[in-house]
Amino acid sequence: MHSPTPPTSLLQALRRVMRPLVRLMVRKGVTYTYFSDMLKGVFVEVAEQEFRLDANAPSDSRISLLTGVHRKDVKRLRSQSPDVGDDLPAAVSLGAHLVSTWQTTPPFCTRPGDPAPLARLASTGGERSFDALVARVSKDIRARVVLDEWLRLGIARVDEHDHVHLETAAFVPQKGFDEKAAYFGHNVHDHACAAVHNLTTEGAPYFERSVHYDALSAASIARLRDAVSSEGMQALLAFNTLAADLEAQDARSADARQRVTIGLYFYSEATAATVPSEDAAPKIPA
């Protein structure tokens, strides 16, 4: 069931994975004591939900055996409700849906991936207005409320002709820590799930590839960053259009529903000084 001694390679990988998370926690005042108690709850939750021998819930003793969490703590933690849910907050989910509709659905876009400036009010813009966009996605919230929040977050701007412009190609607020934290949890969770699946589960792996180099100049990094921002976003917009079309088709069927996340990321940091080699070989995507 479990190896009594975890592989050294796994422990080294987990230590590296944890470093940026610990960096974030220290910066935001999350102490080791608080995090360790929260982590106990995660161990208990995962063992209870995903490591059952049959249809019955495992006993406190079995969860304690699997996780190393003391049985008294297991009992206490199982009696508590989880502090957070797995879904994106409603405001973030609505924002993402609105941006996707603006990017892909006429008359709100001139072509897929090219959102049109929208008249702020339906009284002046009709179906090609911000009022109409919000009404297309939700009947329960006023467009003015959404627009005020988007102006605060830097997602949209209003020009001198009272037209609303989308300022970002995806719902990633430049301001608003809670909104960015929600996406942090969603994206890192799903990327980690794909990687863990590929490491532990037999069957078809999820697509998870990257390219990495370690002897680039700052100018080259800037060029790569611009290329990823431009070309990578075009790829994501294409996937977004396809997913939106497929979701519209699937709405007519009774099949079980599944969610999907498709991501792309870019990261760079300083490395130890190296001497360029004339025979340096290109890196193979990993």
pLDDT at residue 280 greater than cutoff 80: no
Q: Residue 162 falls within a domain, yes or no?
A: yes
The answer, yes or no, to whether residue 77 has pLDDT greater than 50, is: yes
Mean model confidence pLDDT for the chain: 85
User: Does residue 136 fall inside a structural domain?
Assistant: yes
Residue 107 sits in the same domain as residue 57 = no
> 103-161: per-residue pLDDT in tens?
888 899 988 778 999 999 999 999 999 999 999 988 888 999 999 988 887 889 999 99
The parent domain of residue 67 ranges over: 8-83
Q: In which band, very low, low, confident or very high, does the pLDDT at 100 lie, cut at 50, 70 and 90?
A: confident
pLDDT at 282 over 70: no
Is 171 inside any structural domain?
no
Q: What is the model's pLDDT at position 255?
A: 82
Burial 41-77 (b: 16+ CB within 10 A, else e): bebbeebbeeeeeeeeebebebbbbbbebeeebbeeb
**Positive or negative torsion for Cα 27, 28, 29, 34:** negative
Does 52 share its domain with 96? Answer: no
* CB-based burial label for 28 (10 Å; 0-12, 13-18, 19+): exposed
pLDDT tens for each residue of 12-39: 999 999 999 999 998 888 888 889 989 9
Domain boundary (18, 49, 83) is at 83
Residue 221 lies in a domain: yes
Of the pLDDT bands very low, low, confident and very high (cuts 50, 70, 90), residue 217 is very high
**Amino acid 279: pLDDT:** 47
- Is 198 within a domain? no
Query: Is 233 within a domain?
Result: yes
Q: What total number of domains does the chain contain? A: 3
Kindly list the distances between the CA atom of residue 227 and the CA atoms of 74, 223, 238, 244, in Å, as whole numbers in the listed order: 49, 6, 16, 25
- pLDDT at residue 204, as a whole number: 92
- Co-location of 109 and 74 in the same domain: no
Same domain, yes or no: 34 and 55: yes
pLDDT the model gives residue 172: 60
pTM: 0.69
- Pick the range with the lowest mean pLDDT from 5-19, 68-82, 185-199: 68-82
For residue 84, pLDDT over 80 is answered with: no
pLDDT at 99: 87
H-run or E-run covering 109: strand 109-111
Pair 72, 112 in one domain: no
What is the rounded CA–CA span in Å between residue 125 and residue 192?
44
Comparing 261 with 94, which gets the higher pLDDT? 261
User: Residue 260: how many CB atoms within 10 A of its CB?
Assistant: 9
Q: Are residues 218 and 271 in the same domain?
A: yes
Exposed, middle or buried: residue 134 (CB in 10 Å: 0-12, 13-18, 19+)? buried
Burial (CB count <10 Å: 0-12, 13-18, 19+), residue 280: exposed
Q: Is residue 176 part of a domain?
A: no
Same domain, 222 and 284: yes
Domain boundary among 83, 116, 137: 83
Is 236 among the domain residues? Answer: yes
Check whether residue 213 and residue 234 sit in a common domain: yes
Task: Please indicate, yes or no, whether residues 219 and 286 belong to a single structural domain of this protein.
Answer: yes
**166, 191, 223 - which closes a domain:** 166
